[in-house]
Structure 1
């Protein structure tokens, strides 16, 4: 697997290669020829290696390495971290158009373009990793998969992450603490909950949180445990509300592939991508949970005060979420109404 953020992005060259793959029966089976299929993966998170750094970057690299190994080098995956291939909020649209092969992306970032994707960060809807991962085979996951496919995107690896709050001023634990704070929630739905609690909300990707908190433009940011670590927010925060064990904030951050690109690949390549992608889910779960444990230690070491969520506080957040975000989402369209009904039926 090669990784080169400086290599120019060439859709024409890639499609030329893919066209050759489809046209030549001799290379439909791995090892029959050496015309490599190149897949480029974009993500917004810090880069590292296969063994060190943000686990979402490592997941992409492991995925690529395994594809290269099992295809005898016929599949070459190039990982572009830190939004080095394209801007963060452009990724989903590029996937839909076939202008980007793959991306590991917080799915709710596409909410402005595809309202149904905001189900991937619906406050208090998912309360555990077990519940989130159950979506894949449950009716809600099947329906969501169909909706995404109709929009031109396929999920290869389901990744859920619990989140917490880093605050530069006062701690943000219960809804009452949000009053008067400028908070980044991560989705339209989370913003509705925060507004109902009395906060002013900011819409920006997690990789821009550090600068916003450093300048005072943002008082508190809610994001995944991994991002709380990877983006070094402990350097600008005095308080952390950790999501370990319990949280009202669970985000779906899947590894996705463009359906247009996927459909143009030989069947053996398609099958291998889906197989390896599914195998990566165990790694994603293990690492997400490990970061839930690690984040508190990172912030405590930096001198921040750490708080945890109790059941009564979670109930307060859920009451607000049902009355605001859930209702607003369900009213968007028939798909949204169906999705949230199905999601609410998945056991916690």
Structure 2
């Protein structure tokens, strides 16, 4: 009898110890939620700064139970692989240039309809509304959760020689462009050869003469030091640079409801900061480019008129859904 009582006591003690051990482990396990955010921009670029702010806010609003590790400069995964890597769960969060999403949803081409937007501010307003929300929601079919659209200024033409004030200037040139059918079409109509390559390879390509120009944003070109190898920037609004922030759907679902709430709050605040900083960042970036010796020119009305037939021809090539978006934006 005493032996049974003794054994029962041992079992009870073991159960209590196990329960206590489990309770002690629970908080530690919560602390171990770590997500990897990969992007190709320099840490000093607006995307890098927005990503770092987001990581800080996530830690704050989840009481440290969720940690975001940010990997800038393409060090974790090449830009062209980011979307597939996130869908497979190799990385958790990505923020590729919006044009990269066009390969899985052509509606993302709306960002790069040349001469469509009147200003970067107007574009931000458009993508903060119904059009932007639709684009993010469509990512669900790709095992991704669309989180936000971060902005990065206007898309202009940069060259190593004369400013691209009229289409004939680009004729015969090799121009690097992020994958984008509308921008590639615009370049082809101007007689240029569009070349797609990762942003991390552009500086050397310009330095070696592999390409003669770039279609990009001043806010990317400046911190990437492309002003050292480019000579001119022409303010012809060929689109609006931005980043689609998305997350592996399973990774998002791995968080508790409370953690998701803090996570999304952090994303909302980081996105608001990004938008508030964008216009100021454009001005600062253009100043940096001027200081590096770059010549910045604006189109005259006559020069703009020379580009418009090419732009309208690009619009005419788009799907009915994109044409409807173009009509909405132009109203």
- TM-score grouping bracket, smaller chain normalisation: 0.7 to 0.9
Structure 1 distance, partners of 2:209, 2:285, is: 22
Structure 1 distance, partners of 2:232, 2:157, is: 8
Q: Which residue is 2:91 aligned to?
A: 100
Which structure has more helix as a fraction of its residues? 2
Aligned length: 306
- Does 1:215 pair with 2:208? yes
Bigger Rg, which one: 2
Query: Which SS does the other structure have where 1:194 is aligned?
Result: helix
Following superposition, the deviation at residue 316 of structure 1 comes to 4.3
Structure 2 distance, partners of 1:311, 1:258, is: 46
Aligned counterparts, 1:177-192, within 5 A: 177-186=169-178, 187-192=180-185
Asked if the contact 1:164–1:247 (Cα under 8 Å) also holds between the matched residues in 2, the reply is yes
Query: Which SS does the other structure have where 1:155 is aligned?
Result: strand
Give the alignment partner of residue 239 of structure 1, picking from 232, 240, 250.
Answer: 232
Give the alignment partner of residue 163 of structure 1, picking from 155, 166, 170.
Answer: 155
Aligned counterparts, 1:30-109, within 5 A: 34-47=30-43, 53-109=44-100
CA separation of 1:302 and 1:288: change in aligned 2, threshold 3 A: same
Query: Which SS does the other structure have where 2:134 is aligned?
Result: helix
Give the alignment partner of residue 289 of structure 2, picking from 283, 288, 299.
Answer: 299
Q: Which residue is 1:3 aligned to?
A: none
Asked if the contact 1:122–1:189 (Cα under 8 Å) also holds between the matched residues in 2, the reply is yes
Displacement over 6 Å in runs of 4+: none
CA separation of 1:251 and 1:304: change in aligned 2, threshold 3 A: closer
Following superposition, the deviation at residue 33 of structure 1 comes to 7.4
Following superposition, the deviation at residue 202 of structure 1 comes to 0.6
Unaligned runs of 5+ in 2: 1-22
Unaligned runs of 5+ in 1: 1-23, 48-52, 331-336
Asked if the contact 2:62–2:263 (Cα under 8 Å) also holds between the matched residues in 1, the reply is no
Q: Which residue is 2:143 aligned to?
A: 152
Query: Which SS does the other structure have where 2:103 is aligned?
Result: coil
Query: Which SS does the other structure have where 2:288 is aligned?
Result: helix
Which TM-score applies when normalising by structure 2? 0.83
Following superposition, the deviation at residue 198 of structure 1 comes to 1.1
- After superposition, give the CA deviation of every residue in 1:136-184 in whole Å (9 maximum; x if it has no partner): 4544234322322222223323222212232112211332322121112
CA separation of 1:128 and 1:214: change in aligned 2, threshold 3 A: same
Give the alignment partner of residue 329 of structure 1, picking from 309, 318, 327.
Answer: 318
Structure 1 distance, partners of 2:266, 2:305, is: 38
Which TM-score applies when normalising by structure 1? 0.79
Asked if the contact 2:183–2:238 (Cα under 8 Å) also holds between the matched residues in 1, the reply is no
Following superposition, the deviation at residue 315 of structure 1 comes to 5.0
